[in-house]
Amino acid sequence: MQHSRPIREKLVLCALLLGVMVVVLSASSFVGIYSYRKLVRALSCRAAELPRASELGGCVAGLRLAQARALSGEESRIAEWRDGLREAHVLLDHYRDVLDEGEIETMPFGDRSRERATVASIAACLGALTRLAADGDGQPMLSEAGPHLERLSSLTAELPTFLQDGLHDLSREVRSGYHTLIFTTSVAALAAATLLAAIAVVTYRWIFRPLRLLGHGSRRVAAGDFGYRIRLDTRDEMAELADALNDMTERFQEIRDDLDRQVQLRTREVIRSEQLASVGFLAAGVAHEINNPLASIAMCAESLEGRLGDPGADDGAAQVTRRYLELIQAEAFRCKGITEKLLDFSRLGEVRRQATALVPLVADVAEMLRHVGRFAGRTVDIAREQDALVMANPQEIKQVVLNLLVNALDSIDEQGRVRVEVRRGAGEGVLVVTDDGCGMTEEVLEHLFEPFFTRRRAGQGTGLGLSIVQRIVADHGGRIEATSPGPGQGATFRVRLPLAESSRAAGPLPRDAADRAA
| Segment 71-129, tens digit of pLDDT | 776 667 777 878 888 888 888 888 888 777 765 555 555 567 777 888 888 888 888 88
For 142-183, list the strands marked E by DSSP.
Answer: none
Which of 19-28, 33-42, 112-121 comes out lowest in average pLDDT?
Answer: 33-42
pLDDT of residue 506: 47
Q: Do domains 236-348 and 350-517 have the same CATH topology?
A: no
What's the CATH architecture for 236-348? Orthogonal Bundle (1.10)
Please report, for the chain, the start and end positions of each structural domain, with discontinuous segments joined by +. Answer: 7-209, 236-348, 350-517
pLDDT band at residue 207, thresholds of 50, 70 and 90?
A: confident
**Tens-digit pLDDT profile for residues 210-261:** 888 888 888 888 888 888 888 887 777 788 888 888 888 888 888 888 888 8
In degrees rounded to 5, what are phi and psi of residue 161? Answer: -65, -30
CA dihedral 212, 215, 220, 224 (to 10 degrees): 170
Which is it for the CA torsion 507, 512, 515, 517, positive or negative? negative
**DSSP character at residue 413:** P
| More confident site: 310 or 234 | 234
pLDDT of residue 421: 92
CA distance 23 to 339: 99
What are the residues whose beta carbons fall under 8 Å from the beta carbon of 386, sequence distance 6 or more?
421, 422, 423, 424, 508, 509
In degrees rounded to 5, what are phi and psi of residue 274? Answer: -65, -40
In degrees rounded to 5, what are phi and psi of residue 383? Answer: -80, 120
Mean per-residue pLDDT over the chain, rounded: 78
What are the residues whose beta carbons fall under 8 Å from the beta carbon of 189, sequence distance 6 or more?
25, 28
Rg (CA), the chain: 61
What's the predicted TM-score (pTM) here? 0.43
CA distance 441 to 453: 14
433 touches 405 (CB < 8 A)? yes
CA distance 183 to 123: 47
**Tens-digit pLDDT profile for residues 321-334:** 777 777 787 777 77
CA distance 443 to 446: 5
| More confident site: 336 or 467 | 467
pLDDT band at residue 347, thresholds of 50, 70 and 90?
A: low
Which of 110-114, 181-185, 439-443 comes out lowest in average pLDDT?
Answer: 110-114
Strand 379-382 versus strand 417-424 pairing type: parallel
pLDDT band at residue 475, thresholds of 50, 70 and 90?
A: confident
| More confident site: 342 or 330 | 330
Mean pLDDT (whole number) for 406-432:
88
pLDDT exceeds cutoff 50 at 167: yes
Total length of the chain: 518
429 in the Ramachandran plot: left (φ > 0), alpha (ψ -120 to 50) or beta? beta
For residue 185, give the nearest of 196, 197, 193 by alpha carbon.
Answer: 193
pLDDT exceeds cutoff 80 at 287: no
Which of 43-57, 227-241, 330-344 comes out lowest in average pLDDT?
Answer: 330-344
pLDDT of residue 511: 42
What is the end-to-end Cα distance of the chain in Å, rounded?
55
CA dihedral 260, 264, 265, 268 (to 10 degrees): 170
**Tens-digit pLDDT profile for residues 379-392:** 889 888 888 889 88
pLDDT of residue 285: 64
pLDDT of residue 517: 38
CA dihedral 209, 210, 213, 214 (to 10 degrees): -150
Q: At 112, is the secondary structure helix, strand, or coil?
A: coil
Any idea which fold 350-517 has? Heat Shock Protein 90 (3.30.565)
Cβ-in-10-Å burial (0-12, 13-18, 19+) of 355 comes to middle
| More confident site: 345 or 271 | 271
CA dihedral 176, 182, 183, 189 (to 10 degrees): 160
pLDDT of residue 494: 93
404 touches 495 (CB < 8 A)? yes
